[in-house]
Amino acid sequence: MTSAHRPVRVRIAPSPTGNCHVGTARGALYNLLFARQHNGIFVLRIDDTDQKRSTEDSETGIYAGLRWLGLTWDEGPDVGGPYGPYRQSERLDLYGDAARHLLEVGRAYRCFCTPEELEAERRSALARGHPPRYSGRCRHLTARKVRAKLATGAEHVVRLRIEPKLMVVDDLVQGKVTQDAALLGDPVIVKSSGMPVYHFATVVDEHAMDISHVIRGAEHLNNTFPQIQMYEALGYLPPAFAHIGLLLNPDRSKIGKRNGAVYIGEFAALGYLPETLINHLALSGWSPGTDAEIFSFDELLHYFSLERCSASNAIFDRDKLLWLNGVRIRELPVSELTRQVRPFLVNAGLLAEPERGVRLESIIALEQQRMKTLNEAPELLGFFFHDPDPVTAAALLGRDRFTRKRSGHALREGLESTLQALEALDARSWTVIKLSEVLDDLVVALGWKRGEFFMTLRIAASGKQATPSLYETLEALGRPATLRRLRAVVGALPARNDRTLPSNAQETASLLPSNPML
Ligand code: GLU
């Protein structure tokens, strides 16, 4: 059976040395899609051979990130499975057995070179313009010499004896890639601590776990050749390989924190939808071959293929991600958007659980068109939950380019007339239609320009210069809150058309930015 005809079993093998990185998430997505398309199994294996840097928190962070994205695995440390254990630190015996076998059959040897000797070798190779690689000095140590060194307790590593030959990998994404193995240098497979290196552990595990395809980032392409030699040395059938182009920043630098969020948890906290990230990660390394940009997971299941994955590096474009999130937010049913926005409002202290009789859905619907990330919701919608400070609102009226042309007193009179007109509407008539009838008539009766009238009302009701459509905002705000807010701002504006402000207003005025009209 060739690797291409085996039942599909794929895996990711993240190292728990940090949270769930976008690169890990992309790997999980592509592997999961491939597994589902072929009725296969998707395995999550934890590569914790680096015991110093691996942490339990990172491991749970990786699970949480993937689950939030909706990427679930069939076998793994937390869900179990027939090929467990799924943490490499719990499989050390297997690697030990494999290394001993290679030593016995002569495909591996013990290397006693000290770090200083290796460093000197490296420097001299570089000085001669050669790529630094291990010279193979300990390859030919006699069994007696090895025994003698072991008897002194000399530290050593185990290295694979590379067979010098021309190697060709038929990568499912990169195509045929060749490598002269003579240039590789014998790789370490077991460290002096007795721990296997990852490349070796992964080969043992791919075989033990019956992995049919290794789909991973192109940063591992070069590792594939020594790994294939390990498969061969152990008499294993190698899996098929698919190396996807790296994920880079738009400036083509390695994707990293300096350029913005990189962990799935960060994107969640910023208010990205999981489906946006799935959509964007799918397009950062795979192309549908059309201009289509919006894909659900089910559509990806239909269209995704390794053949259309990119061999060259892909850009992770955060501006595009933001745009895509806005598109996806607009497409959500408002009830679903409300469900997702609610925790952001609760965190901002705007909403207690359970919510306090605020008509949340109608409020959120008003900003659905503008919202690009869920964490904008507190800023965009906060004014619905808290009455604006009337003094600050009065100050804003004095600054705004529409309203500052009128004196504070005139603004007060305009708002008093508005209050009268709105008080005449009862709660049942508090609708966009009735509000527009009453207010459209009033602006004519007052003889104000529409811009100044509606901005006066907007600022008085919300404390802000930009809100969703005014009538809809007032309707959603409701009658009691609107009237209460207008009355408060009336109280903060001067009662007389007098340049000398009353003493309490003078105090107020000193807090306000200069307003010649007040
Ligand atoms: N632990 C490796 C990494 O996170 C996995 C590489 C592989 O998929 O073989 O880069």
Reported as a single tens digit per residue, the pLDDT across 23-51 is 999 999 999 999 999 999 999 999 999 88
Q: State in Å: Cα 340 to ligand 1 middle.
A: 33
Q: From CA 429, how far away is CA 415, in angstroms rounded?
A: 20
DSSP output for 298-361: HHHHHH--GGGB-SS-EE--HHHHHHHHHHHHHHS-HHHHHHHHHHHHHHTTS-PSSP-S--HH
DSSP-derived letter for residue 260 is S
Q: State in Å: Cα 45 to ligand 1 middle.
A: 10
Which residue's alpha carbon is nearest to atom 5 within ligand 1? 13
For residue 24, the ligand 1 atom closest to its alpha carbon is 4
With residue 188 as reference, give the H or E element that holds it: strand 188-190
Which residue's alpha carbon is nearest to atom 10 within ligand 1? 14
Q: From CA 92, how far away is CA 75, in angstroms rounded?
A: 19
What global pTM score does this model have?
0.88
Give the residue from 401, 11, 480 showing the smallest Cα distance to 208: 11
The full set of domain ranges for the chain reads: 1-78+245-331, 92-244, 333-382, 386-492
Over range 185-195, report the average pLDDT.
95
Q: State in Å: Cα 220 to ligand 1 middle.
A: 8
For residue 14, the ligand 1 atom closest to its alpha carbon is 4
Quick: pLDDT tens for 411-464.
999 999 999 999 999 999 999 999 999 999 999 999 999 999 999 999 999 999
Instruction: Classify domain 1-78+245-331 at the CATH topology level.
Output: Rossmann fold (3.40.50)
Instruction: Classify domain 386-492 at the CATH topology level.
Output: Arc Repressor Mutant, subunit A (1.10.10)
Instruction: Classify domain 92-244 at the CATH topology level.
Output: Rossmann fold (3.40.50)
Which residue's alpha carbon is nearest to atom 3 within ligand 1? 14
Contact (CB, 8 A) for 330 and 347: no
| 408 pLDDT higher than 70 | yes
Q: State in Å: Cα 1 to ligand 1 middle.
A: 26
Which residue's alpha carbon is nearest to atom 6 within ligand 1? 13
| CATH of region 333-382 | 1.10.8.70
Tokens, residue 439: 């207010």
Residue to probe by mutation, ligand 1, list 87, 220, 224, most atoms within 8 Å of CB: 220
For residue 216, the ligand 1 atom closest to its alpha carbon is 8
Q: State in Å: Cα 180 to ligand 1 middle.
A: 23
Contact (CB, 8 A) for 274 and 70: yes
Which residue in 257, 405, 434, 464 is the catalytic one? 257
Q: From CA 465, how far away is CA 342, in angstroms rounded?
A: 24
412 C-beta neighbours (distance < 10 Å), count: 23
Contact (CB, 8 A) for 126 and 133: no
The strand pairing partners of 170, in sequence order, are: 176
Q: Is 191 a catalytic residue?
A: no
Over range 491-516, report the average pLDDT.
52
Which residue's alpha carbon is nearest to atom 4 within ligand 1? 14
With residue 44 as reference, give the H or E element that holds it: strand 41-44
With residue 481 as reference, give the H or E element that holds it: helix 479-492
Asked whether the domain spanning 386-492 has the same topology as the one spanning 333-382, the reply is no
Which residue's alpha carbon is nearest to atom 7 within ligand 1? 13
For residue 47, the ligand 1 atom closest to its alpha carbon is 1
Preceding peptide of 164 cis, ω within 30°: no
Q: State in Å: Cα 217 to ligand 1 middle.
A: 8
Contact (CB, 8 A) for 358 and 477: no
Q: What is the pLDDT of residue 518?
A: 28
N residues, the chain: 518
Instruction: Tell me how far CA of residue 58 lies from CA of 68, 75, 253, 413, in angstroms.
Output: 15, 19, 24, 62
Instruction: Tell me how far CA of residue 496 lies from CA of 418, 471, 501, 506, in angstroms.
Output: 18, 30, 8, 13
215 three-class SS: strand
Preceding peptide of 354 cis, ω within 30°: yes
| 256 pLDDT higher than 90 | no
Q: What is the spatial order of strands in the sheet that 9-12 belongs to?
A: 41-44, 9-12, 213-217, 240-244
Q: From CA 434, how far away is CA 318, in angstroms rounded?
A: 44
pLDDT bracket for residue 495 (50, 70, 90):
confident
Spell out which residues line ligand 1, taking CB within 6 angstroms: 13-15, 47, 198, 202, 216, 220
Beta-sheet pairing, 247-248 with 157-160: unpaired
User: CA 257: distance to chain centroid?
Assistant: 11
% residues pLDDT > 90 (the chain): 86
